Amino acid sequence: MAIRHYLQFTDFTAEEYAWLFERAAVIKKKFKAYEKYHPLADRTLAMIFEKASTRTRVSFEAGMYQMGGSVVHLTTGDSQLGRAEPIEDSARVISRMVDLVMIRTFGQEKIERFAAHSRVPVINGLTNEFHPCQILADLFTYIEHRGSIAGKVVAWVGDGNNMANTWLQAAELLGFTVHVSTPSGYEVDQSVAGVRSNASYKVFADPMEACRGADLVTTDVWTSMGYEAENEQRKKAFADWCVDADMMKVAKPDALFMHCLPAHRGEEVEAEVIDGPQSVVWDEAENRMHAQKALMEYLLLGRVAG
């Protein structure tokens, strides 16, 4: 099988996503039944973190062990990556020793350069521009709770960031609509998001209007990793972009609430929403592991049976 990378959401087709969601459900069921499933025995995943993580680290690491494989964990501070070894050289070396690489870093171009020099599949564990593993898990969670997302409306309230960009890619590929509301100056940029047209998203100045009639309301931190210097300025700009009970009320009565986490209650979301009955954030976090196990299985073994 030719090497496939997962660097952005558009790297797979709609048909491949259908397969991944099906496999994630099968793999999750095995895990819940304590059924041993070791298709990745003797395989090694290298995880490179240039930014902090809880969910991504635990979900990839636990997921790889559960599938019989092992992991190597590297950070900028404890590897030569932090001492200016060229990314291309790091890719050549690391990919001769492991079967799969997951990278969390800053610019998307960095992960693309790594992938271009890697002998093994590379997975984007978050960049400034994209977070495809998170949207993979979010969609799997939506499907588990509500069925197909095709034709549905997702309200995005907050920053035009890596999560927003990836939602736009998913909407264009899988046939749903994103209602985007960001403060001015923090809009999504269609060229950065890498979507072909604006047909699958609508921009709203008022976050309440973005939520009206939505099937899913979702948000993210006001300040993403790497943008900490803008924190104070962002706190002022984003004050009205807090998902509250009134926003959930204008969404569909059975609307779900999601947040990739970590969350800041009282900033981008009120506690009564994230801790309320429409919130599925804990399922969403858990599903990172099941969805990524399906992803790793697919990248290393293709379409397996059983």
> Active-site positions?
104, 131, 134, 220, 260, 288
Omega of the bond leading into 253 within 30 degrees of 0 (cis): no
Q: Is 225 in the site for ligand NVA (CB under 6 A)?
A: yes
218 binds, among ligand NVA, ligand CP, none (CB under 5 to 8 A by kind): none
- Comparison of 161 and 177: residue with beta carbon closer to ligand NVA: 161
Please tell me whether 53 is known to bind a ligand: yes
Shortest distance in whole angstroms from residue 14 CB to ligand NVA = 25
Shortest distance in whole angstroms from residue 250 CB to ligand CP = 26
What is the identity of the amino acid at 131? H
If you search the block for the tokens 């069925």, which residue do you land on? Answer: 147
- Comparison of 15 and 228: residue with beta carbon closer to ligand NVA: 228
Please tell me whether 56 is known to bind a ligand: yes
Measuring CA to CA, which residue among 209, 117, 221, 111 is closest to residue 160? 221
Per-residue interface string for the shown chain with ligand NVA, residues 110-129, x marking contact by CB under 6 A: ----------------x---
143 binds, among ligand CP, ligand NVA, none (CB under 5 to 8 A by kind): none
Shortest distance in whole angstroms from residue 274 CB to ligand CP = 14
Give one DSSP letter per residue of the chain, joined into a string. -----BSSGGGS-HHHHHHHHHHHHHHHHHHHTT----TTTT-EEEEEESS--SHHHHHHHHHHHHTT-EEEEEESTTSGGGGT--HHHHHHHHHHH-SEEEEE-S-HHHHHHHHHT-SS-EEES--SS--HHHHHHHHHHHHHHHS--TT-EEEEES--SHHHHHHHHHHHHHT-EEEEE--TT----HHHHT-S-STTEEE-SSHHHHHTT-SEEEE--SS-TT-GGGHHHHHHHTTT--B-HHHHHHS-TT-EEEE-S---BTTTB-HHHHTSTTB-HHHHHHHHHHHHHHHHHHHHH-S---
- Comparison of 37 and 106: residue with beta carbon closer to ligand NVA: 106
162 binds, among ligand CP, ligand NVA, none (CB under 5 to 8 A by kind): ligand NVA
- Comparison of 247 and 260: residue with beta carbon closer to ligand NVA: 260
- Comparison of 101 and 200: residue with beta carbon closer to ligand CP: 101
Please tell me whether 182 is known to bind a ligand: no
Q: Is 192 in the site for ligand NVA (CB under 6 A)?
A: no
CA distance 83 to 78: 9
Question: Alpha carbon of 297 to those of 5, 162, 240, 242, 263: distances in Å?
Answer: 13, 25, 42, 38, 30
Nearest to ligand CP by Cβ — which residue? 56
Shortest distance in whole angstroms from residue 112 CB to ligand CP = 20
- Comparison of 260 and 273: residue with beta carbon closer to ligand CP: 260
What are phi and psi for residue 11, nearest 5 degrees?
Answer: -70, -15
Shortest distance in whole angstroms from residue 246 CB to ligand CP = 26
Q: Is 168 in the site for ligand NVA (CB under 6 A)?
A: no
Please tell me whether 211 is known to bind a ligand: no
Please tell me whether 86 is known to bind a ligand: no
Which of 137, 171, 178, 221 binds ligand NVA (CB under 6 A)? It is 221
Residues near ligand NVA (CB under 6 A): 126, 161-163, 220-221, 224-225, 260
- Binding-site residues for carbamoyl phosphate sit at 53-56, 80, 104, 131-134, 260-261, 288
- Binding-site residues sit at 53-56, 80, 104, 131-134, 162, 220, 224-225, 260-261, 288
